[in-house]
């Protein structure tokens, strides 16, 4: 059975344009102020989860948005910025648990669920997936361990299942292009995580070496292939220069081998996956 990837969309988010992109050299306080005072809305972006079918089992990359994000009490009342800066478009049937069930896949059937980072739109499906082995970088778990800080940083720890005890990705000594460390997910080394910090201090992306192409599942290391190519970073992170370094590494890897780039929020990811369009980086 060849390795294949399918994209599952868990709703859409409409947010402020200043959240999607701001200059990397702008001071952090000014970046945040721009988000808080921005009154315009960007086009809605999809929240996509990636299901990898591999001979060793199914691997899910991220868990998407929860249908409950529209509920009044999903986000803590003391942190109104979630609802003030974002609007959610998702119904009950678009949660990851229901969509996996429709495919005949139970959480216990999954070999691994890998979380790129714990922001609410990547961890929203955790309650549906608690019976699956869940993996993430230890640094990301540490960064979001303290609930008040985690909430300020865009996570919803009180929505995580009580028995949420993820396993940490284990590094191997083999590098992948400019990425010094890799974290194998499958024994055959064809699905591996790499560190792509910047959007959050500890963030991972997945590289899938399928028979037909090599796929780079960015998570939120970039919101789109266009942003990647132009080395543009989002407006919500606190380490924009590190985010740009990560983009340069992804571009470097794409120069070393043909890569199909699949960001979590890029509306063009499904078409690129279907047509296996390799990314050709332009020099900045
Ligand atoms: Zn996201």
Q: Over the stretch 162-183, which tens digit does the pLDDT of each residue have?
A: 999 999 999 998 999 999 999 9
Task: Answer yes or no: is pLDDT of 198 > 90.
Answer: yes
Residue 149 Cα to ligand 1 middle (Å): 18
Centroid of ligand 1 to alpha carbon of 265 (angstroms) = 7
Nearest to 62 by CA among 73, 46, 51: 51
- What mean pLDDT value characterizes the chain? 96
Q: What are the sequence ranges of the domains in the chain?
A: 4-275
Confidence of residue 72 (pLDDT cuts 50, 70, 90): confident
Compute, in angstroms, the gap from residue 123 CA to the centroid of ligand 1: 10
Percent of the chain with pLDDT over 90: 94
Distance of CA 210 to the CA centre of its chain: 20
Distance 151 CA to ligand 1 centre (A): 15
Q: Cα of 221 to ligand 1 centre, how many Å?
A: 9
Average pLDDT, integer, range 257-264: 98
- 4-275 CATH pick, 3.20.20.30, 3.40.50.2300, 3.60.15.10, 3.10.580.10: 3.60.15.10
Per-residue pLDDT at 150: 95
Distance 237 CA to ligand 1 centre (A): 11
**Mean per-residue pLDDT, 17-22:** 96
Residue 69 CA to ligand 1 center (angstroms) comes to 14
- d(Cα 260, Cα 279) in Å, to the nearest integer? 6
Ligand 1 center from residue 219 Cα (angstroms): 7
Q: Are 225 and 216 in contact (CB under 8 A)?
A: no
Distances (CA, A) of 110 to 53, 54, 94, 104: 10, 10, 19, 11
């Amino acid at each position: 059975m060849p390795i294949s990837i399918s994209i599952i969309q868990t709703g859409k988010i409409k947010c402020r344009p200043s959240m999607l992109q701001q200059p990397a050299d702008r001071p952090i306080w000014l970046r945040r102020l721009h988000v808080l005072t921005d009154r315009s809305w960007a086009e809605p972006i999809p929240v996509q989860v990636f299901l990898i079918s591999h001979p060793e089992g199914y691997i899910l990359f991220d868990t998407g948005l929860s249908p409950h994000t529209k509920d009044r009490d999903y986000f803590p009342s003391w942190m109104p910025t979630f609802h003030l800066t974002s609007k959610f478009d998702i119904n009950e049937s678009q949660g990851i648990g229901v969509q996996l069930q429709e495919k005949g896949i139970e959480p216990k059937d999954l070999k691994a669920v890998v979380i790129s980072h714990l922001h609410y739109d990547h961890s929203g499906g955790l309650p549906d997936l608690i019976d699956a082995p869940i993996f993430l970088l230890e640094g990301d778990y540490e960064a979001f361990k303290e609930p008040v800080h985690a909430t300020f940083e865009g996570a919803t720890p009180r929505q995580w299942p009580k028995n949420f005890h993820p396993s940490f990705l284990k590094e191997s000594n083999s590098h992948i292009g400019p990425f010094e460390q890799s974290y194998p997910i499958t024994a055959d080394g064809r699905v591996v995580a790499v560190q792509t910090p910047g959007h959050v201090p500890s963030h991972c992306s997945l590289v899938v070496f399928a028979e037909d192409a090599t796929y780079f599942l960015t998570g939120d290391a970039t919101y789109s292939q266009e942003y990647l190519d132009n080395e543009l970073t989002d407006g919500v992170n606190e380490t924009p220069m590190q985010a740009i370094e990560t983009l340069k590494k992804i571009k470097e890897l794409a120069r070393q081998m043909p890569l199909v780039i699949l960001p979590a929020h890029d509306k063009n990811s499904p078409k690129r996956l279907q047509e296996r369009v390799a990314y050709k980086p332009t020099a900045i």
